[in-house]
């Protein structure tokens, strides 16, 4: 049975962020994820999760100057100190939020992304995260949603993880991004699932609920069950309307 986590940066947009934890719990979610928690004190976010009775399972490192278009620091030449600062802040939050893993966004090519820098930063970050008893993910992202994003393909991401060789570094496999960039999603799952430590879903092409579009998600969920995937699947989509009303696709999974 798939384990779904509500992405609170995408879902429940009709209510304040801290109220989304309880809304997700009411809909049957046992876990949540989100993009960035840093506008609020970690203790405040942790308290909201505790009150709702949900686990926080993933969030991103600070991505750099988001307003200026930066989408991560891990691969950016000359920004190593900024990346280390972002990592330290994320790990501090992860400890307070009792979150097992954080996502290190690579950044965009035009901002100076470089393979050697990426590898060196990931090796250093994985070692530091190990000391803090946390895991890291990297995620291939399509260049339609983030033009110029440095990491786009599943094979690239898994090759990087193997080269880094850290037990706490895994791939965050978003099936929405995978379908847009590569297609052949079922075969990609079969090939790469052993290195996947977190998954995400959305309908393709419009990033709405996973009950419309190009992907047959019931088939893919059954495939993941057959292959024994026991990790979390983040629901990182933009609801067509009110979030709870659009959860018909999850009936039977969330106990609705």
Residue 1: its pLDDT value, please? 86
Name every residue whose Cβ is closer than 8 Å to that of residue 219 and which is 6 or more positions away in sequence: 186
Is pLDDT of 255 > 80? no
Is pLDDT of 256 > 70? no
- 102-113 burial code (b ≥16 CB/10 A, e <16): bbbbbbbeebeb
Which residues form the catalytic set? 139, 236
Percent of the chain with pLDDT over 90: 97
Separation CA 71–CA 175 (nearest Å): 20
pLDDT tens by residue, 6-18: 999 999 999 999 9
Question: What are the DSSP calls for 138-172, one per residue?
Answer: E----TTTSTTBS---HHHHHHHHHHHT-TTEEEE
Give the number of residues written for the chain: 256
Is pLDDT of 243 > 70? yes
3-state secondary structure of 103: strand
Name every residue whose Cβ is closer than 8 Å to that of residue 183 and which is 6 or more positions away in sequence: none
Nearest CA to 99 out of 60, 152, 131, 126 is that of 60
The answer to whether the CB of 179 falls within 8 A of the CB of 210 is no
Nearest CA to 184 out of 158, 160, 153 is that of 153
252 falls in which pLDDT band (50, 70, 90)? Answer: confident
pLDDT tens by residue, 57-76: 999 999 999 999 999 999 99
- The sign of the torsion formed by the CA atoms of 178, 181, 182, 183 equals positive
Percent of the chain with pLDDT over 70: 99
Residue with tokens 């939050």: 93
Helix (H) or strand (E) holding 125: helix 115-131
Domains of the chain, CATH where assigned = 3-248 (3.20.20.150)
């Amino acid at each position: 049975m798939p384990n779904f986590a509500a992405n609170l940066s995408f879902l429940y947009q009709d209510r304040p962020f801290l109220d989304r934890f309880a809304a997700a719990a009411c809909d049957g979610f046992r876990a949540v994820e989100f993009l960035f928690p840093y506008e609020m004190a970690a203790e405040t976010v942790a308290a909201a999760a505790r009150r709702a009775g949900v686990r926080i399972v993933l969030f991103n490192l600070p991505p750099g100057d988001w307003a200026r278009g930066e989408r991560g620091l891990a691969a950016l030449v000359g920004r190593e100190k900024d990346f280390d600062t972002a990592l330290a802040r994320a790990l501090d939050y992860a400890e307070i939020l009792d979150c097992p893993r954080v996502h290190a966004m690579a950044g965009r090519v035009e901002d100076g992304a470089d393979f050697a820098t990426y590898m060196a930063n990931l090796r250093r970050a994985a070692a530091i995260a190990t000391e803090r008893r946390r895991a890291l993910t990297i995620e291939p992202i399509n260049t339609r949603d983030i033009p110029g994003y440095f990491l786009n393909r599943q094979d690239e991401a898994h090759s990087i993880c193997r080269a880094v060789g850290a037990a706490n570094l895994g791939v965050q496999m978003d099936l929405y991004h995978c379908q847009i960039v590569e297609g052949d999603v079922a075969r990609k799952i079969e090939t790469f699932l052993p290195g996947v430590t977190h998954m995400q879903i959305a309908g393709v092409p419009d990033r709405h609920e996973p009950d419309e579009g190009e992907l047959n998600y019931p088939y893919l969920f059954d495939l993941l069950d057959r292959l024994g995937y026991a990790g979390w699947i983040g629901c990182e989509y933009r609801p067509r309307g009110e979030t709870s009303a659009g959860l018909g696709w999850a009936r039977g999974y969330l106990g609705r």
